[in-house]
């Protein structure tokens, strides 16, 4: 899809670079923006520039934050002794929306995947281990996806803290293998956290 206007081409190309946005949708969105007045379009684009310039990642849990330490980490009523390990920020948002979890998080930024060349050093794992070392963490909840990569990552962390007296549990796998947390409805996800089971290694498999 090519347009006579270079400017339109440019805008549509930028819009369609977003995930899940095809050229047709991009054109519809661009034309929609074009119909708005100058001030509204400026507000729209400035919000992304400001987001990119000012957004921070929490120094402790790597959740997205407006401050050095996120609201969850600095909340006086959240339980620091329970840490839920998740793949990315979308999982924090999904679990938070259940209103069922009152511990804290640690966002790994991915999972170990030899196929994609992602090793433990590429993830926020050493900071997790330091966090466990420095704080009196009583329970780690593995909230990673139920995929081979998720399992590998769980096992890697499990081995690192095996000698510590920390309860390790797994979000209930009733949610189905391979499910991403963000796609699970809030009630099911809430139950999966409440009904978490002890993390066990089945060495026979």
Closest CA to 62 of 95, 94, 110, 18: 110
Q: Whole-angstrom distance between the N-terminal and C-terminal Cα of the chain?
A: 51
Site for Zn ion in 164-183 (CB under 5 A): none
| Nearer to Zn ion (CB atom), residue 15 or residue 84 | 84
Compute the 3-state secondary structure of the chain and give helix, strand, coil in percent, each to the nearest 5: 45, 10, 40
Strands (E), the chain: 56-57, 64-65, 82-86, 104-107, 139-142, 167-170, 197-198
82 belongs to the binding site for Zn ion (CB under 5 A): no
Residues 133, 135, 141, 147, CA torsion sign? negative
Number of residues near Zn ion (by CB under 5 A) = 6
Binding mask 5-44 for Zn ion (x = CB under 5 A): ----------------------------------------
Minimum separation from the CB atom of position 71 to Zn ion (A)? 8
| Nearer to Zn ion (CB atom), residue 16 or residue 63 | 63
Minimum separation from the CB atom of position 58 to Zn ion (A)? 3
Inter-CA distances, 107 with 36, 128, 134, Å: 38, 9, 18
Taking the C-alpha atoms of residue 88 and residue 103, their distance in angstroms, rounded to an integer, is: 16
Minimum separation from the CB atom of position 142 to Zn ion (A)? 18
Binding mask 49-78 for Zn ion (x = CB under 5 A): ---------x-xx-x------x--x-----
Minimum separation from the CB atom of position 69 to Zn ion (A)? 6
Taking the C-alpha atoms of residue 40 and residue 46, their distance in angstroms, rounded to an integer, is: 10
Minimum separation from the CB atom of position 159 to Zn ion (A)? 25
Contact positions vs Zn ion (CB under 5 A): 58, 60-61, 63, 70, 73
């Amino acid at each position: 899809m090519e347009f006579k206007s270079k400017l339109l081409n440019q805008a549509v190309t930028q819009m369609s670079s977003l995930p899940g946005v095809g050229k047709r949708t991009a054109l519809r969105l661009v034309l929609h923006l074009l119909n708005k007045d100058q001030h509204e379009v400026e507000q729209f684009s400035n919000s992304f520039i400001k987001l990119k310039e000012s957004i921070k990642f929490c120094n402790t849990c790597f959740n997205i934050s407006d401050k050095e330490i996120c609201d969850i980490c600095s909340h006086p009523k959240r339980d620091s002794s329970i840490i839920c390990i998740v793949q990315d920020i979308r999982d924090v948002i999904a679990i938070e929306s259940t209103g069922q979890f009152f511990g804290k998080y640690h966002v790994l930024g991915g999972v170990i995947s030899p196929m994609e060349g992602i090793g433990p050093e590429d993830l926020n794992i050493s900071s997790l281990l330091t966090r466990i070392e420095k704080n009196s963490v009583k329970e780690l909840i593995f909230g990673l996806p139920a995929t081979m990569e998720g399992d590998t990552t769980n096992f890697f962390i499990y081995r690192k803290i095996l000698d510590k007296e920390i309860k390790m549990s797994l979000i209930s796998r009733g949610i189905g293998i391979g499910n991403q947390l963000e796609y699970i409805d809030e009630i099911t996800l809430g139950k999966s956290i409440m009904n978490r089971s002890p993390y066990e290694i089945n060495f026979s498999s």
